[in-house]
Amino acid sequence: MERELLLFSTIEPATVAQVDAWLSALESAGARVGIVRINSLGGSWHAGQLIRSRLLMSKVGVTTVNEGVVGSAATLIYAAGKVRQCQPHAKFMMHRVSNDVGYTDEDGLTKALGAQRALNRSTAEMYADVTTVAADEWEKKMAAETWLKAAEAKEIGFCTQVLAGNTALVEPDATMSGADLHGFYMSIISPPKEMKLDEVRNALSLAGVTLPANATEAEALAAIGKLKNQVAAPAPKPEDEEDDKVAKLEKRLAQLEQGRAAEQNTLIEGTINTAIAAGKITASQKDTYASILKADFTNGCKVLEGMTGRTPVTRRLPTAPPSLVDATRNDWDFEKWSREDSEGLRAMKSADPDKYQNLLDAYTS
């Protein structure tokens, strides 16, 4: 049973299932606490809201930790922590909710704008619940796209504890983009080292301690503690015999760890190469995702499985001849785009967000 969950990628529907499975395992084992470590620029607002609700409803006391960057939808998850920690150089980013325009008529667009305003207000109220800042002020901060440093988040209550800093680290350049900040923090996060319950059970058996097949983590820890006490105050036996038992146990544990590391590296290499071949990640991201898989192989695989292969932007743009797109459509307003080529309008939102926003602002002003 994993006490920690790593959310180091885009927040999407698959992430909801990942968090639910993790919490369900903790709840079934009777665990009282868990930790969600986050380094994500965000993703789906609806997925973030579902995860937030699941965390708040659970009897497990969850601590959320900002390991580098927590932005957009990821802030909803972070805010659900009963304890909210962050690294001293961590950053938070809050902005307005965004969504694809699925309508081409005036009434539909008006409804879509109303829905967006409602979601923005809901988000502002969620921030207000865990801070000293009112919802009206949060709406203004979201409209301006606000970035908070750790100390600023602590001052308004969004973060409840800033962790002790590592003196070997330096703060990233203030001019870094959000994506570069994410990569920077991914490069300095050290994956946790944890031995699996089955490995602990096998190692204990070599020392004469047998655990049942359905033993819980608490029972394993109790058995380890009992073994330590026996070693600290052994029954009258030849001293060399007791030392030999401990030495064998330590050697076996080391062998298990080495074997597990070698097997894990092989699995990680194959998983990463498959993801690259499928277009889910790029070769330049190989080391980043290798670190994620080393930290939590099971959940890391789920993240990669939930990702879709990237489609080049050029394949999503309108299929009309370049001369028609560049010359004739330059004079189109938002309404004409919606009526004549809604698919092209959606492609513009991804390929040229500034142009898309300018057209939308002109239409709604």
- Read off the pLDDT of residues 19-50 as tens digits, 9 standing for 90 and up: 999 999 999 988 899 999 999 999 999 999 99
Question: In the predicted model, what is the mean pLDDT of residues 236-257?
Answer: 73
Phi, psi of 190 (to 5 degrees): -90, 125
Question: In the predicted model, what is the mean pLDDT of residues 95-105?
Answer: 69
Residue 154 has pLDDT above 60, yes or no: yes
pLDDT on residue 281: 85
Q: Find where tokens 């703060």 sit.
A: 171
Residue 72 per-residue DSSP state: T
Across 148-157, 166-175, 214-223, 283-292, the highest mean pLDDT is recorded for 148-157
Tokens of 183: 């990569």
pLDDT on residue 323: 39
pLDDT on residue 232: 54
Q: Which residues contact 308 (CB under 8 A, 6 or more apart)?
A: 280
From 45-49, 171-175, 316-320, 338-342, the region with the lowest mean pLDDT: 316-320
**What are the chain's domains?**
4-189 (3.90.226.10), 191-310 (no CATH), 313-364 (no CATH)
Pairing of strands 33-40, 146-149: unpaired
pLDDT on residue 167: 46
Q: Which of 108, 28, 3, 16 is nearest to 55 (CA)?
A: 16
Check residues 109 and 274 and name the one with the higher pLDDT. Answer: 274
Q: How confident is the model at residue 174 (pLDDT cuts 50, 70, 90)?
A: low
3-state secondary structure of 43: strand
pLDDT on residue 181: 61
Q: How confident is the model at residue 233 (pLDDT cuts 50, 70, 90)?
A: low
Q: What proportion of the chain, given as a percentage, has pLDDT over 90?
A: 36
Tokens of 156: 């308004």
Q: Which of 14, 7, 12 is nearest to 35 (CA)?
A: 7
From 25-39, 52-66, 234-248, 282-296, the region with the lowest mean pLDDT: 234-248
pLDDT on residue 301: 81
Are the C-beta atoms of 22 and 47 separated by less than 8 Å? no
How many C-beta atoms surround the C-beta of residue 232 within 10 A? 7
- Condensed to tens digits (0 to 9), the pLDDT of residues 62-93 reads 999 999 999 999 999 999 999 999 999 999 99
Single-letter amino acid, residue 216: T
The torsion of the CA quartet 71, 288, 179, 15, rounded to 10 degrees, works out to -40
User: CB-side exposure of 11: number of CA atoms within 13 Å?
Assistant: 26
3-state secondary structure of 66: strand
Q: Which of 40, 34, 122, 118 is nearest to 73 (CA)?
A: 40
Question: In the predicted model, what is the mean pLDDT of residues 244-248?
Answer: 79
Rounded Cα distance between 142 and 340, Å, is 32
pTM above 0.85, yes or no: no
pLDDT on residue 294: 79
pLDDT on residue 17: 95
Are the C-beta atoms of 211 and 218 separated by less than 8 Å? no
Question: In the predicted model, what is the mean pLDDT of residues 200-219?
Answer: 71
Rounded Cα distance between 317 and 221, Å, is 58
From 30-39, 138-147, 290-299, the region with the lowest mean pLDDT: 290-299
pLDDT on residue 337: 83
- Condensed to tens digits (0 to 9), the pLDDT of residues 348-364 reads 888 888 888 888 888 77
Tokens of 260: 């597990």
Separation of CA 240 from chain center: 50
How far apart, in Å, are the Cα atoms of 48 and each of 21, 78, 102, 227?
16, 9, 21, 44
Check residues 269 and 224 and name the one with the higher pLDDT. Answer: 269
Question: In the predicted model, what is the mean pLDDT of residues 175-198?
Answer: 58
Burial 315-341 (b: 16+ CB within 10 A, else e): eebbeeeeeeeeeebeebebeebbeeb
Average pLDDT, the chain: 80
Tokens of 268: 């990680």
pLDDT on residue 93: 95
Strand (E) or helix (H) holding 95:
none
Pairing of strands 146-149, 91-94: antiparallel
pLDDT on residue 362: 83
